[in-house]
């Protein structure tokens, strides 16, 4: 098969998958990725990052995490892959990881002169707020345990 035909067919499947964006849609994107693996180029990271978007919406964070990591293996400078990796980590409550990926995405966007508006900075603010809340809850819990231990003595 001519690579151009394969790419066009894969793009058509991808567009259908994004329009549907459900389990069958993700399966269509999987078909695209299977076709893409015959001629792997950094361009194919787009299929992994786009399937990640479907999986995040389906709350399949573990699978989307794996796809993001694979996309970053293909292209470590992908802003989109770092951004979606952050979304996965946010859903899994790994806030430090999320913040690190957002900072990397922000720096890459600046280096590549890409404009994502306020998407990355606002996601960074949300991740930092969630991390601070998580730390405050942990601090309160530990304080409660210490006080309970003192009272039992």
Specify the range with the lowest mean pLDDT, choosing from 19-28, 38-47, 78-87. Answer: 19-28
Rounded to the nearest angstrom, the gap between the alpha carbon of residue 55 and the centroid of all alpha carbons in its chain is 9
pLDDT (0 to 100) of residue 98: 94
Phi, psi of 41 (to 5 degrees): -135, 165
Residue 60 has pLDDT above 90, yes or no: no
Residue 105 has pLDDT above 60, yes or no: yes
Neighbour-count burial for 94-109, b at 16+ CB within 10 Å, e otherwise:
bbebbbbbbebbbebb
Rounded to the nearest angstrom, the gap between the alpha carbon of residue 141 and the centroid of all alpha carbons in its chain is 30
């Amino acid at each position: 098969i001519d690579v151009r035909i394969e790419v066009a067919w894969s793009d058509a499947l991808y567009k259908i998958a994004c329009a549907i964006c459900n389990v069958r849609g993700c399966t269509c994107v999987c078909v695209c990725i299977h076709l893409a693996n015959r001629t792997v180029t950094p361009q194919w990271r787009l299929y992994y990052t786009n399937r990640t978007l479907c999986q995040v919406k389906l709350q399949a964070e573990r699978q989307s995490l794996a796809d993001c990591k694979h996309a970053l293996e293909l292209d470590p400078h992908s802003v989109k892959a770092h951004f979606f990796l952050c979304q996965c980590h946010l859903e899994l409550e790994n806030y430090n990881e999320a913040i690190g990926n957002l900072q990397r995405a922000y720096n890459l966007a600046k280096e590549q002169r890409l404009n994502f508006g306020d998407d990355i900075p606002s996601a960074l603010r949300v991740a930092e707020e969630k991390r601070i809340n998580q730390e405050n809850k942990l601090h309160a819990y530990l304080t409660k345990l210490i006080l309970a231990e003192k009272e039992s003595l």
